[in-house]
Amino acid sequence: MGFDRIAAAADEPERIARLRLARTQRIGPVNFAQLMQRFGTAIRALEELPHVVRRTGGSLTPYPLAKLDEELARADAAGARLIVLGDADYPALLKQIDAAPPVLWTLGPLKPRQKAIGIVGARNASAAGQKIAQTLAHDLGEAGFHVISGLARGVDTRAHEMSVKTGTIGVLGGGVDDIYPPDNRGLYEQIRAHGLLVSESPVGHRATASDFPRRNRIISGLSLGTVVVEAELRSGSLITARLAAEQNREVFAVPGSPLDPRCRGTNDLLRQGANLCEGAEDIIRVLEAQMGFNAPEASEPDSALPEITLPPQSEDDIARVSRSLLDLVSETPVHRDDLLRLCGAQTWIGLAALSELEVAGRFTVSDGGFYSHS
């Protein structure tokens, strides 16, 4: 979708415009990247969007400036730092994933490195599971890895505690100022002082259930691989493992007793082909064989990338294809690939038209890339 081809923001107004664009209704990460490729800058995208969606019979109001000012004020009060997609210090591994977060808020001095492992698992982890998490985090930290987790109870907590000194990153579902669970306040403050806290949610946002799957893709996206210590068959940890696999990252699972429900998820991951993990050496061996740790610590500065804008005549093509798609889509969901084939347009024009119709509120997109009328 071109996340790695978004040019650096030329100045602070463009960076703030990217935050505003990302916060605008119906503009998720994929539509954000599509609009940036189409218009080149967030400032221009915000100017053009109301006119563009109006021609499809839809409507869109950019994120209110008053709310944007409130978020910026809360961030300033918390001491949070804004990183936008296109910044040179946007995490290189995270930029590679589908639906990379357009904006991140961070707290803490640590700079993410590519040599990083996610450790996740049950909130109600057993004593043995917590001990394994501690040992893995300690040994991986000593081997030069950053440890990434979600600051939840149980496995996450133990992994963070044992890697504060060597480098740990806590990814939050709420804003970077949302201390959840509250009993991890002390750990939160340690990470803020020595590690890094990361969130794509607005500063001041309190986490809800729907925020955690989005949080999980960042944990796996920041990591070369994710290890699951304990997890039931239906758990957020297995979602993180699935996301890691979809991102072409390694998945590791610690085996456990078949009598313990907390081990059924990890044992099932092993059946599906996850790497067996009994210690840090298993993780290091796999990653050395796969990558040799030769990947650069940072990508080339995005400022070297050209801004991508489409030729002016393409807007007429997009409008024409949008009208065709409105006729093709009904209440019955149709897959994106079928729509692109049926409309007969070049792929990038078809994708731009689909994005436009989604942003305009004319189409609804369900899991798997199926489109239907809103």
**Model pLDDT, residue 294:** 46
> 3-81+310-373 sits in which CATH class?
mainly alpha
42 near 24, Cβ under 8 Å?
no
- The SS3 assignment for 258 reads coil
Average pLDDT over residues 88-105: 94
- The SS3 assignment for 270 reads helix
**Model pLDDT, residue 308:** 44
Could you give the CA distance from residue 321 to residue 328 in angstroms, rounded to a whole number?
Answer: 10
What proportions of the chain, in percent to the nearest 5, are helix, strand and coil? 45, 15, 40
What is the value of pTM for the model shown? 0.87
308 near 40, Cβ under 8 Å?
yes
Q: Residues of CATH 1.10.10.10 domain(s) within the chain?
A: 3-81+310-373
- pLDDT value at 332 more than 70: yes
135-144 tens-digit pLDDT: 999 999 999 9
- pLDDT value at 16 more than 60: yes
147 near 137, Cβ under 8 Å?
yes
Answer with the residue of higher pLDDT: 85 or 296: 85
Could you give the CA distance from residue 98 to residue 85 in angstroms, rounded to a whole number?
Answer: 13
53 is written with which tokens? 């969606």
Which segment of 156-165, 246-255, 291-300, 319-328 scores lowest on mean pLDDT? Answer: 291-300
Neighbours of 147 (CB within 10 A): 28
Separation in Å, CA 220 to CA 18, 305, 332: 24, 26, 33
Could you give the CA distance from residue 98 to residue 112 in angstroms, rounded to a whole number?
Answer: 19
**Model pLDDT, residue 55:** 85
Residue 296 confidence class, pLDDT cut points 50, 70, 90 = very low
**Model pLDDT, residue 292:** 64
Separation in Å, CA 197 to CA 78, 162, 190, 238: 12, 16, 10, 22
Q: Which residue from 251, 233, 235 is spatially nearest to 243, judged by alpha carbons? A: 251
Domain range 92-290, CATH architecture: 3-Layer(aba) Sandwich (3.40)
Strands 196-199 and 225-228: unpaired
Residue type, 16: I
260 near 126, Cβ under 8 Å?
yes
| Residue 223 exposed, middle or buried by CB count within 10 Å (0-12, 13-18, 19+) | buried
Q: Which residue from 94, 159, 147 is spatially nearest to 121, judged by alpha carbons? A: 159
Average pLDDT over residues 274-282: 97
Could you give the CA distance from residue 134 to residue 256 in angstroms, rounded to a whole number?
Answer: 16
Neighbours of 239 (CB within 10 A): 17
Residue 306 confidence class, pLDDT cut points 50, 70, 90 = very low
Q: Residues of CATH 3.40.50.450 domain(s) within the chain?
A: 92-290
114 near 211, Cβ under 8 Å?
no
> For helices 42-54 and 347-359, what crossing angle results, to 10°?
80
